[in-house]
Amino acid sequence: MTTATRPPADMDAMAYWKWYGKPHCERLATSAGTSYSYWKHICNRTKRPSVDLARALVKASNGELSLDKLLFPLEEMRVSKRAA
């Protein structure tokens, strides 16, 4: 079994939490201006971040988090990239 050395691109919140763990995500939440408790709500999809908070989380993660997946955690909520 091989282990990945780099995180996958465009992660959702839960994948990010599983990849980096609690201490890193506590720092991420603080640097984005929110609490770790609210971050866990975002990870568990019980709450969604505001647009400003989602942008701050993406910036704090150096682009590893997906803005689209933070704002629209369910696939059905995302706008299709295909032309109608």
Q: Tell me whether residue 46 is in a domain.
A: yes
- Spatial distance between the Cα atoms of 44 and 46, rounded to a whole number of angstroms: 6
Structural domain that includes position 48: 15-61
State how far the alpha carbon of 79 is from the alpha carbons of 45, 51, 69, in Å.
18, 16, 11
- Asked if 64 and 13 count as a contact pair (C-beta separation under 8 A), the reply is no
Assigned domain for 6 exists: no
The per-residue pLDDT for range 48-84, each reduced to its tens digit, is 999 999 999 999 999 999 999 999 887 666 566 654 5
Interval 39-48: pLDDT, tens: 999 999 999 9
Average pLDDT over residues 25-42: 97
Cβ 8 vs Cβ 15: under 8 Å: yes
Q: Which residue has the higher pLDDT, 75 or 19?
A: 19
What is the tally of structural domains in the chain? 1
pLDDT mean over 16-28: 96
Residue 26 lies in a domain: yes
Question: Looking at the domain assignment, is residue 52 inside a domain?
Answer: yes
Q: Which pLDDT band holds residue 15 (cuts at 50, 70, 90)? A: very high
Alpha-carbon Rg for the chain in angstroms: 13
What is the rounded CA–CA span in Å between residue 8 and residue 3? 12
Which pLDDT belongs to residue 76?
65
| Token digits of residue 44 | 């568990």
